[in-house]
Amino acid sequence: HVSRVYWWRLVHRGFGLVDDSDPANPRPRPAFSALKNLLAQLAGARFERRVEDVPAGTFALEFSRTDGSRFTLRWTLNSFPKLA
């Protein structure tokens, strides 16, 4: 169970989720978009289980919503996942 996550710098040229090299035009990094998507998918969801039968380097977690629907979030450490 993770109760909190901290990011060292949200906005920073070298380390942030948003690159402010050009202060007039800050640029979200790919990790910012990934986090935004993750938080949107998990809003109101409940963790159910870790899916075990996935390819090496691939991870899958199953969640449920209050309406009874279920969904699985998957990600990989590989460039091109092979999902069954």
- Tens of pLDDT, residues 21-37: 998 999 999 889 888 98
Task: Kindly tell me if the per-residue pLDDT of 75 is higher than 90.
Answer: no
**Are 30 and 48 within one domain?**
no
Beta carbons within 10 angstroms of residue 29's beta carbon? 13
**Are 27 and 59 within one domain?**
no
**Are 49 and 72 within one domain?**
yes
pTM above 0.85, yes or no: no
- Domain range for residue 8? 1-37
Write out the two tokens for 70: 């279920």
Write out the two tokens for 48: 């159910």
**Are 52 and 79 within one domain?**
yes
**Are 29 and 54 within one domain?**
no
**Are 6 and 28 within one domain?**
yes
Q: How many domains does the chain have?
A: 2
Answer yes or no: are the C-beta atoms of 10 and 16 closer than 8 Å: yes
